[in-house]
A and B are shown apart, each in its own frame.
Chain A
Amino acid sequence: MNHSPNLLDEALGLTGRGFGCGALSQGRVVLVEDCVETSGAFVLHHLVKRALSTDSGGNVIFIALSHSFSHYDRILRKLGCNLSMHREHNRFHFVDMLKVEFPNEIQKNAVEHGLVDLYSKILKAVEVSSSGDYSRAHISIVIDDLSILEIVAHGSVDHVLDFLHYCITLTSEQDCSLVILNHEDIYPEMEAPRLLSHLIYLADFVIKAEPLVTGIAADVHGQLTVLKKGTFNDSQYTDKASNFHFQVKENGVELFFPGTRC
């Protein structure tokens, strides 16, 4: 397994060495925004792999709305991470939401009840994680992807935001971080700002995956922009934005600054 930090790790501050250093720090919220031309799923895979690596020794709670477990298992295996094994060891909690439905017609407030159920599942998983061998390990909660959760909630942005708020409260109470994948090009022009702006306000890191401005290229699949918002805990308030190109490969992703690859 190659654990040498790449540009994305540097941008997210995951460059430390030793136990626990490969994971995001407590309370961090990472928002990954992608679009139909350029999928940002590889960022999630990378973060899951980092979180489960022996360096960080963390736990992952994965809320899957778009793909089945076997999909992630195959991809992560190529990256050198055995999800099935981690699942058995209770380090990887897979919450399968593929067939979830909140039928409002049958039950009043079905959406809210459904989301409360989902939240209680997460709470349970957190409990299990914090009581096992890795009781003091960092827990990453990964949502793939939020736009489907919104559809499940019958398009109710409020409910989705309520749910996210509860996930975020969890991050401040426990050693948790939250990673959210969302698509940015699925909203009508006028409607988009509300949910997306909310997410950007909530996030500490915003990672945007976009196609190259210059068009499709054979050896560059797109560009990533990582924005680190200033934290108000420090006395310094420095926003930092970095931009680099990426090429998704069979067993990983190559990240490089524009023009630095021969």
Chain B
Amino acid sequence: MAESICRSLRDGSIEGEHSPALTIKDSLQSHAGTHAFNYFLCSLAANVCAGKSQARGLVLVAFSQSPSFYLSLLKRKRMDASLLTKCLRILDCYSDPLGWKEKIRQSSGPDKPVFTESDYVCRDVKDITKLLSSILELGKGFSEGRAYFAVAIDSVSQVSSMLWLLHADLHEPRSTAVLEYMSSIVASVEPMVEITDGQKGSDNLFWLGRGLQKGRFHVRFKRRNGRVKLFLQFNLQLSEKERADRSRVLLPFEHQGNGEPIQIYDGRRSLTESNTGLNGLQQHALSIEMEAQRMQSKEYSLSFETPRSPPSALAELIALGLLRAPMADTNSSLSPSPDTRSSASPKRDDLRPMGIKIAELNESQSELLNRLQGLKQLEDLSEPSKEPEDKDNANASNKAEPSLPEITEETSPVDASA
């Protein structure tokens, strides 16, 4: 975040937009704002000196610290003193902001020592117009920055970027808000833990003591032209290649019922291991997975144009209600009457091995209830697959339908009795 702030201060204003204006806001609870200000000031000064920035110079308006403090600060950052004198002008609003010293000096005689740390001393900060014109004057020399508030002006006497520091709790909220409206970047230094009103007295001081060591740095960027800067990008559309890749992915349950061992992916024991085949419990789990995958399979099935394996094709045809007879044929040994099945649910196919089906028939009565539940959900799922335009993809029919028929057959009597 700090980097992007440095960059926008360095890059300056874009044609037709206001120049970047950074407000650094802190409060007593976390009073590291001065540190943050000094950091950005040094970074901007370094960029200006190195000629990397849009601004050709920096005008620093020093209110809270003396010019010599800033000079030594910048020199400590290993900045070349000769470059600094070339690129940095400090408007001294610190030494004598109200002209008191000048007044005393005049009244007591001109021989008094004068402490001048800077060539540019502002002696009446209350005259804002004058202050502004002095800033602009210095800026025409080239550019700017400042202490309680900082400014940067370009060589064409245009402001390239600005930054200022603000102690939020010394001002009315509305003044703070106005400054925030005016600035394009607001960086606030906040404490990790807010002090509540209840914590007063020495507790409060202790909190202050911790305020500087840890804090949050919260930055808000605004663009003048109303564009919103997105840091994250979402893409809800799939490209052709992505779609093709996606259709090639074999989902965990796609092979279920194709003669391979049935596996459960939710951590429970596999049915083949426990030798119970597909029971209601598994069916239930499967139906949940189905639910989760339904949208996906629908989506990619639309682009699924490659020839399908015979079982899937068969399943689809069955799903479309075109091939009811063969299905009845394969199930004839298990289904007492096709009427029961058709009335209970729209079953279409049964592609699972006979052994499993037989095992299921031997299951205990208590499991029937579970399977009934699974059935109900599968019914819901299978409804849309009947739509011809939906072409209910092979995957869905393959993985979802296999166990359906027996379950319905077994449970339909229970259902009826219930």
Contact = CB atoms under 8 A, between A and B. Distances in A.
Nearest to B33: A201
Nearest to A198: B170
Interface string A220-257: 00010101111010000111110100000000000000
Contacts of A194: 170
Contact of A225 (B97, B117, B205, B210): B205
A197 B202 contact: no
Contact of A116 (B31, B38, B103, B206): B103
A229 B65 CA distance: 16
A200 B202 contact: no
Given A165-B97, A197-B169, A232-B35, A241 B205 contact: yes
A239 B211 contact: yes
B202 A229 contact: no
Given A172-B66, A200-B28, A223-B202, A116 B100 contact: yes
Interface string B198-237: 0001100110111111000000000000000000000000
B202 A238 contact: no
Interface in B148-177: 167, 169-170
B124 to A, nearest CB: 12
A155 interface: no
Given A166-B100, A169-B95, A243 B201 contact: no
Given A169-B95, A197-B169, A237-B213, A119 B31 contact: no
Contacts of B65: 172
B133 interface: no
Contacts of A210: 201-202
B28 A201 contact: yes
Interface in A120-153: 120, 123
A162 interface: yes
A208 interface: yes
Given A116-B104, A169-B66, A237 B32 contact: yes
Contacts of B103: 116
Interface residue tally of chain B, by bracket?
35 or more
Given A197-B28, A223-B202, A239 B209 contact: yes
Contacts of A165: 97
Interface string B102-136: 01100110000001010000000000000000000
Nearest to A241: B209
B98 interface: yes
Interface string B265-301: 0000000000000000000000000000000000000
A219 interface: no
Given A197-B28, A201-B31, A238 B213 contact: yes
A239 B170 contact: no
A173 B101 CA distance: 13
Nearest to B66: A172
B69 interface: yes
A117 B66 CA distance: 23
A16 interface: no
Contacts of B211: 239
Contacts of B101: 166
Given A116-B100, A172-B66, A238 B212 contact: yes
Given A169-B94, A223-B202, A232-B35, A239 B100 contact: no
Nearest to B63: A165
B28 A243 contact: no
A239 B98 contact: no
Interface in A169-200: 169, 172-173, 193-194, 197-198, 200
Interface residues of A, number: 33
B213 A239 contact: yes
A157 to B, nearest CB: 11
Contact of A227 (B98, B108, B115, B205): B205
B34 interface: yes
Contact of A197 (B170, B206, B212): B170
Interface string B58-72: 000000011011000
Interface in B1-57: 28, 31-32, 34-35, 38
B66 A232 contact: no
A223 B167 CA distance: 29
A166 B107 CA distance: 18
Nearest to A165: B97
Contacts of B95: 169, 173
Interface in B358-383: none
A30 interface: no
Nearest to A202: B64
B100 A119 contact: yes
Contacts of B167: 197, 201
A228 B31 CA distance: 13
B399 to A, nearest CB: 62
19 contacts: A112-B98, A116-B103, A120-B104, A165-B97, A166-B100, A169-B95, A172-B68, A173-B95, A173-B115, A173-B117, A197-B167, A197-B169, A201-B170, A206-B208, A208-B202, A227-B206, A227-B208, A230-B212, A241-B210
3 closest A-B pairs by CB: A241-B209, A225-B202, A239-B212
Interface of B: 28, 31-32, 34-35, 38, 65-66, 68-69, 94-98, 100-101, 103-104, 107-108, 115, 117, 167, 169-170, 201-202, 205-206, 208-213
Given A238-B212, A241-B208, 6 more contacts: A162-B98, A166-B101, A172-B69, A173-B95, A194-B170, A210-B201
